[in-house]
Structure 1
Amino acid sequence: MLEVSNLRKVYGPDPNAAPAVADLNFTVAEREFVSILGSSGCGKTTMMRCLSGLSPATSGEVTLEGRKVDGPPKDLAFVFQDYSRSLLPWMTVRRNISFPLRYKGVDRRAADAATEEALDAVALSGRGDRYPWQLSGGMQQRVAIARALAYRPRVLLMDEPFASVDAQTRSGLEDLLLDVWKRYEITVLFVTHDIDEAIYLGDRVLVLRPPANVGHEVSVGLPRPRHQVETKREPEFGRLRGELFAALEHRPVAS
């Protein structure tokens, strides 16, 4: 579904400047959920901007279903970390969700149906006439997710979308995301700096090291559906946590 080949990103006119992304290579299969794990400042957000077509790569390429990404693809949606700034405060929740559908050429009746379905998917039915500033942080993030779902993307990119909410709200959003991932059968690339979150959500976890390149990769064989308590009690969860922590710290990883 998504292929990243020798991706490199340098800011500024000097091609010899220190890169934010260097020699990045990986693939994501259709309907796969891949977590991208990395410490702050390792180039995760720059990478996501290149993958989404929002920022041009210095060299290398990104392809979506075999087509080169040279601008924001219509089959891709992006949920940002700062959800409060991505929602338009003068628009109702319903209008925030529906307005990007104009870009896709969706007629009003179909847009209204997609919006209501997305509101239901994120458990916000009945709140469509409210404004973002009338909702809690967790609800605002659900609006951002609903907007992406209404767009009906083939690929959903998410850049640390739950970093600004409390632990309990975060757990609920993680479970919500897994529910909608299954319901909409989409491909998800999810960036986080939280090891437990990366394991809990993903089919695979890629560890990024600065400048952003894949330093380690693990497959997550934990059964689905997952549970916040039971899944995290699994010995395999603890083993994966230790392996990923070692990879982040550039320590030897046990085989």
Structure 2
Amino acid sequence: MSIQATATDLLTIEGLGHVYEGTEPFEAIGKLDFTVPEGAFVSIVGPSGCGKTTMLRCLSGLMKPTRGEVRLEGEPVTGVPRDLALVFQDYSRSLFPWRTVAGNIAYVLPRDLPKAERAARVQESLDAVGLGEAGAKYPWQLSGGMQQRVAIARALAYRPAILLMDEPFASVDAQTRAELEDLMLAVREQFGMTILFVTHDIDESVYLADRVLVLSKSPSTIVESLDVDLPRPRDQVSTRELDDFVHLRSHIARLIRDQSMKGRPAA
């Protein structure tokens, strides 16, 4: 099925598929068709091993898909686009331990950017993630949650058209995770960012997003696209108590459970 992109669609994915070649080829992605409108927050969930990370690598230009096309702002993605930033799960490996926090953020900025503007962007990004006083510290002096805030600040400073996030909060404790979720809602509002967020946490996907895409098991396709019509601003307690929230997360959980059980022998 052909995707009809609209003027407001920032990212268009059409017929995307990927096969890992080898002695026993493995089809990770079957066929994906979807769009991400400008300013949207889209979450993607699915069974374990369904190809979410493979998909993100194809969308970001880090990996060439076997078939299909990815377009950012109407232009085919053939390499890593300048208007795209990616935040990984493993924050400790994405930061340079020998650079200060401010140095890590400044590293991604254009070399021809005036010095005063570079400093202003770094400080604005640190303030946005609640680390305004941490610029002179080194990543190893910070907690895991604070290091992930630095990774997010670096992406904000780059001013991408779209931010891709690959299970970015999977390695932190529950309290820090909730704080980072609320941080993403705040920076999305402040910067008007377009975000594509991959997570294995169903509650998180509903809490953050305007729309949730549920993937099948590999070779992955889209099982269902669900609009999240929950009031904003959202709150970790009151939002999760809403009947609509409970219904959505239960529906998604059933979809993923059904996908995970496909092909298994009956008990």
Range class of TM-score, shorter chain: over 0.9
2:75 paired residue among 62, 67, 73: 67
Say whether 1:12 aligns with 2:18: no
The equivalent residue for 1:128 is 135
Unaligned runs of 5+ in 2: 1-9, 260-267
**Deviation of 1:13 (Å):** 5.9
Counterpart mapping for 1:88-127 below 5 A? 88-102=96-110, 105-127=112-134
1:21-52 CA-partner distances (Å, limit 9, x unpaired): 12111101000000001222110001001100
**TM-score (ref. length: structure 2):** 0.90
* Structure-1 separation of matches of 2:98 and 2:49: 33
1:220 paired residue among 208, 216, 228: 228
Counterpart mapping for 1:1-255 below 5 A? 1-12=10-21, 17-102=25-110, 105-209=112-216, 210-250=218-258
* Structure-1 separation of matches of 2:33 and 2:113: 34
* Structure-2 separation of matches of 1:71 and 1:159: 18
The 8 Å contact of residues 47 and 257 in structure 2, kept in 1 or not, is answered as no
**Per the alignment, in what secondary structure is the counterpart of residue 250 of structure 1?**
helix
The 8 Å contact of residues 215 and 223 in structure 2, kept in 1 or not, is answered as yes
Alignment-mate amino acid for residue 49 of structure 1:
R
Please list every run of at least 4 consecutive aligned residues from structure 1 whose deviation after the TM superposition is greater than 4 angstroms. Answer: none
* Structure-2 separation of matches of 1:60 and 1:108: 42
* Structure-2 separation of matches of 1:147 and 1:24: 29
* Structure-2 separation of matches of 1:94 and 1:190: 25
Alignment-mate amino acid for residue 173 of structure 1:
L
**TM-score (ref. length: structure 1):** 0.94
Unaligned runs of 5+ in 1: none
* Structure-2 separation of matches of 1:139 and 1:88: 14
**Per the alignment, in what secondary structure is the counterpart of residue 205 of structure 1?**
strand
**Per the alignment, in what secondary structure is the counterpart of residue 16 of structure 2?**
strand
* Structure-2 separation of matches of 1:27 and 1:64: 10
RMSD: 1.4
**Deviation of 1:112 (Å):** 1.5
* Structure-1 separation of matches of 2:22 and 2:174: 42
**Per the alignment, in what secondary structure is the counterpart of residue 10 of structure 1?**
strand
**Per the alignment, in what secondary structure is the counterpart of residue 102 of structure 1?**
coil
The 8 Å contact of residues 47 and 212 in structure 1, kept in 2 or not, is answered as no
**Per the alignment, in what secondary structure is the counterpart of residue 12 of structure 2?**
strand
* Structure-2 separation of matches of 1:97 and 1:211: 37
* Structure-2 separation of matches of 1:93 and 1:212: 38
1:128-179 CA-partner distances (Å, limit 9, x unpaired): 0100000000000000000000000110000000000000000000000000
* Structure-1 separation of matches of 2:115 and 2:57: 30
The 8 Å contact of residues 87 and 151 in structure 2, kept in 1 or not, is answered as yes
